[in-house]
Amino acid sequence: MIKPVLLVRAQNNETDQAALTKLGIPSLIDPYLEIRVCEDATEAEQLLSILDGSDDPVWLVATSVNAFRFWSQIVGADRLRAAIQKHPQAKFAAIGEATANVLRDFGANEIVVSRDFTGQSLGEDLIAKNSVGHAIVPGGNLAMKSLPSTLETSGWRVSTAIVYTISPVAKEPMSVRMVKNKEVSAILFRSPSAVRALTHFVPNPEVDLVCIGPTTARAFTDQGLAPSAVSPGPSAEVVASTIYSLMFQER
């Protein structure tokens, strides 16, 4: 009997679950993180004011699926869309294709997507297109600093705002016992915060650990661990294929 793959991110685990099911791999959804919209709208409103009042070309940069969704939730989707439409010279960038799809909901057509799903490479790509510019970057409380620092080092102006917070769940997830007893075959991690949340409850998990991208892989190193596999792409289908190979083809 195949042991399930544990899916731990705060939300949207169903897409990964469906892709695994197609390959005959059972899965268990049990979030180790919780995500909340910022109750204080100050930073979100300030970021909208910067966009709305700018006469210069700007880059709207989405570093996660949640960033623009929560920003629009706070300031209002219609207001955000109107501010973007007011600046037809606005350009767009995203950390990955799923994030780029969120930008398309706000009228983006041409979008620069990170070549390896990291903030550093995305910053380097933007600098290659415009030696100096202005980036507007909504994000979360745990957002990586690599993108802003890469841009600012090259003379870019970067305007940021925290529009959501993410943290480990307060109550121990029921699957902690399963992980400790090796009753799951693998755990999927889509962010460094997921790695930290899991190891908060299980410091030394003795099951396969699968992650997306080099940034999350480095989070394992920080915890004294090593991933069993790193997916070459973030799509649910690619991730499921990576897990399938790990479970059935490489053993």
Domain ranges of the chain: 5-32+171-249, 37-166
CB neighbour class for 197 (10 Å; exposed up to 12, middle 13-18, buried from 19): buried
**pLDDT confidence of residue 249:** 72
Q: What are phi and psi of 205, to 5 degrees?
A: -65, 135
CB neighbour class for 222 (10 Å; exposed up to 12, middle 13-18, buried from 19): exposed
**pLDDT confidence of residue 250:** 53
**Cα angle, residue 65 at apex, residues 202 and 203 outer, rounded to 5°:** 10
CA 112 to chain centre: 16
**Distance between CA atoms of residues 133 and 168, nearest Å:** 36
Fold classification of 37-166 (topology level) = Rossmann fold (3.40.50)
**pLDDT confidence of residue 36:** 94
Alpha-carbon distances, residue 53 vs 45, 49, 79 (angstroms): 12, 6, 13
Q: Which two tokens stand for residue 110?
A: 């041409």
**Distance between CA atoms of residues 81 and 86, nearest Å:** 9
Answer for the pair 155, 61: CB distance below 8 angstroms, yes or no: no
SS3 state at 127: helix
**Distance between CA atoms of residues 187 and 210, nearest Å:** 6
**pLDDT confidence of residue 8:** 97
CATH number of 5-32+171-249: 3.40.50.10090
- What string of pLDDT tens digits covers the 251 residues of the chain? 799 999 999 998 999 999 999 999 999 999 999 999 999 999 999 999 999 887 777 999 999 889 999 999 999 999 999 998 888 888 999 998 889 999 998 888 889 999 888 888 999 999 998 888 899 999 999 887 889 999 999 999 999 999 999 999 999 999 999 999 999 999 999 999 999 999 999 999 999 999 998 889 999 999 999 999 999 988 899 999 999 999 987 54
**pLDDT confidence of residue 129:** 87
**pLDDT confidence of residue 183:** 97
What's the order of all strands across the beta sheet hosting 186-189?
27-29, 5-7, 186-189, 208-212, 229-231
**Distance between CA atoms of residues 113 and 180, nearest Å:** 38
**pLDDT confidence of residue 85:** 87
Q: Which two tokens stand for residue 155?
A: 């003379």
**pLDDT confidence of residue 3:** 95
Q: Does an H or E element contain 140, and which? A: strand 134-140
**pLDDT confidence of residue 107:** 86
Answer for the pair 162, 39: CB distance below 8 angstroms, yes or no: no
Q: Confirm whether 5-32+171-249 and 37-166 share one CATH topology.
A: yes
